Chain A
């Protein structure tokens, strides 16, 4: 397709891929600490940063970075104090940031359309200088998020344990907050500030439908993030001949489609896992046993079997002590000599 021959499209593809890589890497730690909306809160704070940049005629990228990092540190300190709930602290940021941004834009006499560029992204107008800045930030964020993964995992999993293990918990908490702020700034031009959080959270939610380990979730979310970003950008470019489609929105829609596809698979897998998890092998003291009043240990199955239960008989096999029970119409059938016992 000749669309990709254009310089602006190539720059857009690079920016989209980098955003898709960075946002879920940081988002995984945020989701792990149950702060999934942190990215959204920081996005709102960044609005004030953008407005400040426009007002002072400096680069909005760097003023947004500065203000967002300050906001992130603030929220972490408020949370640490424990005087305000995490979600209430987030709400304070949401509204303070947005109101500050709109106020400053008004004072600066800028039209709302300039701000809009950052709220919903303007990936097709990215310059070479923007690309370099985004690349630098991506490298730093990824190096920290992957290099310090064991420490960040421990702190996000269990703060008190991490503290007694001698980790500098506050430093790591602030680090995650700053990483989140940096990736919000990276994603600002691609998906826009209002949709940043989607790219931080949705790929993680999608990945964890299929994974059972943190490592797989983190790496899976990054792959899904890149796929959604690039896929969404291409979709919007293809559609652009017929309608005005903002890439930010298609990127998020593609990410959500990914979740919609994996969710049923995930819930089927969880159902399956629950079904096949071993039955407790508790002796029925006094009740069962050969001489027990219930004789629960040996009740033979009365219904006829047209087949033998086995590895591929179609009935779910569940480990039970030293043998296997087969789930058969709500009963647990255990093979015993030539017949089946009811367990």
Chain B
């Protein structure tokens, strides 16, 4: 039973088609890395999977439930891409993490013992237990990112979406992030992570999905950071059927200079 089942999805932003013909099926317990260059559509794809971007065509099902009827938000944890977790009013790390518990709380009920335990555990996993009372704005960028992960963790979800959690985060903090995600993976959580570069997360990844220009060009074995942008990735799914484009791709593969229509024609030998 797939946890995520996206079929022939298309998404448009302001009328411009961004994602086209995207199929993505993720099984329970998988750790999937969505990779690709800036503007390739990887963030749009993860935002589509969380419902923040509506599909213009195609279908999405989470936990075997069509998205329109999906309400079990406590099964989903989302870590949005944020430069800072702070807002206009001070908030303590504990308060921000506690807001992740709302998926499981009823209206007008105070926090129960189970809620408090889950919040404490989430802080423990990301290594911020000793910073719970501090202001979120006083933490370093990497620690704020970890607090956002703890917020998603506090709801005890089975499926995690993380949008570029390692962007602008230094190496020790990336390692701390990787350790936290390792704990989740060991617990059997399904994780979909958008990343520009994997860094210390690389050993955790089961499967790489590479986006280019709004399409999936690779879906399979984990790729190393440098491979993602290699020209041969996605050759099989090349949407262009012009023979000249094929030839050009072959030239790139063999390290020959890329030719453009304005180049002087090569003299045949």
Contacts and interface: CB of A to CB of B under 8 A. Distances in A.
Contacts of A204: 89
A162 B80 CA distance: 11
Nearest to B95: A214
B50 A164 contact: yes
B78 interface: yes
Contact of A214 (B85, B91, B107, B161): B91
Nearest to A167: B102
Contacts of B88: 31-34, 36
Given A32-B87, A164-B78, A215 B95 contact: yes
Interface string A43-62: 00000000000000000000
B113 interface: no
Given A150-B105, A156-B87, A165 B73 contact: yes
A208 interface: yes
B71 interface: yes
Given A156-B87, A160-B52, A214 B92 contact: yes
A212 interface: yes
B89 to A, nearest CB: 4
A303 interface: no
B107 A151 contact: yes
Interface in B21-75: 50-52, 71, 73-74
B179 interface: no
- Most chain-B Cβ atoms within 10 A of its Cβ — which of A156, A161, A212, A215? A161
- Most chain-B Cβ atoms within 10 A of its Cβ — which of A153, A162, A164, A167? A164
B108 interface: yes
Nearest to A204: B89
A273 B90 CA distance: 15
Given A151-B102, A212-B135, A28 B80 contact: no
A161 B151 contact: yes
Contact of B89 (A31, A147, A162, A165): A31
B91 A157 contact: yes
A232 to B, nearest CB: 24
Contacts of B191: none
Contact of A154 (B71, B99, B172): B99
A312 interface: no
B90 A217 contact: yes
Contacts of A277: 138
Interface residues of A, number: 34
B138 A165 contact: no
A165 B89 CA distance: 21
A31 B134 CA distance: 20
A150 B102 contact: yes
A328 interface: no
A148 interface: yes
B140 to A, nearest CB: 9
Nearest to A82: B14
The 6 closest A-B pairs by CB, nearest first: A166-B73, A164-B78, A213-B92, A212-B135, A154-B99, A32-B89
Interface string A194-226: 000000000010001001111101000000000
Interface in A146-193: 147-148, 150-151, 153-154, 156-158, 160-167
A14 to B, nearest CB: 28
A282 interface: yes
Contacts of B107: 148, 151
A86 to B, nearest CB: 12
B214 interface: no
B99 A153 contact: yes
A157 B155 contact: no
21 contacts: A31-B89, A148-B107, A148-B108, A151-B107, A157-B99, A161-B80, A161-B99, A163-B51, A163-B52, A164-B51, A164-B78, A165-B100, A165-B103, A165-B155, A166-B74, A166-B103, A167-B102, A204-B89, A208-B90, A212-B138, A213-B135
